[in-house]
Structure 1
Amino acid sequence: MGDAEPVYPERSPKPSAVSDFDASLSAENCAAIERVLAKHGAPEVLGGWGNAPHPTLRRARLDVLALLGRLRVRVFTFDSLTKPGNPRHPNPPGKPLPMRGPKVYLT
């Protein structure tokens, strides 16, 4: 697919530096995600948000998952989940995940 949309449109190498949750920013991000999904007719997406250590990221994830549910877009992963049960980020610090399957649906 080539396009990637984050759970929240603010990024930082230090999750503690992410700003407080902004509902309008999250809504704009969800609208951007919806446009990309519509453009490609994607019935599924790779989930890779990791453990989302900041409350803003955890809250934004709920918005994205609600959007995906409304659109009936399934979320999958190719790697093992984190201990709390989240799909691992595909490009964590260190080395990228192998992403060799099996494909497991989360929704």
Structure 2
Amino acid sequence: MNDKVTKIRLAYPENMEPNLCEPEKNEIYRYLLGRRGKKPLVAICMNPSAANMEYSDRTINRIIKVSEKLGYDGWIIANLYPERATRASELGAYNDEQQEKNIQKIMEFLKDNGIDKVWGAWGDLNYPVLTKSKEKLLSELKKADIKIYTFATLTKKGEPVHPLNRVVKQDFSRKINFDFY
């Protein structure tokens, strides 16, 4: 496994194991992970961590619980940047080729599945590689008229709250739409 990814092995909730992982075997990059459905909850997080087809992590399990609570029949995780690292401080230099592929995979999935709203779930971005990635992805989402929502007010830095944030109360019964492109 990628040295930047700590092996945090959690089981997926019963009957919620992923049936989509793009690419399926790459240890360095991941574009999409999830369980397809007719109506999946799509969350855009910061960058992928330890989860893969075999085991989950805390962020993924939280997103799965939210998808179940809200009545979605699937869950999909995309990320601002595709490099796998448990801590954003461990990300390497920005790779434009990988970011373009990341955006292509995300946009293709959203278009193919008729998804016009996504859950912004990346939290504060303290690293230039993530800020640059966010700008590029949000530009493409805007062009496609795909809206972003969150379940809490934005952070002090103006970012959507990460699913594991325990400081800000997230109300999963109420979507808050925002436009900050």
> Identity over the aligned pairs, expressed in percent?
26
Give the TM-score of the pair, scaled to structure 2.
0.53
Please give the alpha-carbon distance, in whole angstroms, between the structure 2 residues aligned to 1:14 and 1:70.
30
More strand by share: 2
> Which of 101, 107, 115 is the matching residue for 1:34?
107
Deviations 1:6-56 (A, max 9, x none): 110013222111011111111000001011101220111100111122110
User: Could you tell me which residue of structure 2 aligns to residue 14 of structure 1?
Assistant: 87
Contact 1:8 1:26 in 2 (8 A): yes
- 2:175 is the counterpart of 1:103: yes
**Cα offset, 1:67, TM superposition:** 0.8
User: Could you tell me which residue of structure 1 aligns to residue 145 of structure 2?
Assistant: 72
User: Could you tell me which residue of structure 2 aligns to residue 51 of structure 1?
Assistant: 124
- What residue identity is the alignment partner of 2:172? R
Which fold has the larger relative contact order, with Cα–Cα distance below 8 Å and residues 6 or more apart in sequence?
1
What is the root-mean-square deviation in Å for CA atoms of aligned residues?
1.8
More helix by share: 1
User: Could you tell me which residue of structure 1 aligns to residue 136 of structure 2?
Assistant: 63
The structure whose Rg is larger is 2
Contact 1:43 1:73 in 2 (8 A): yes
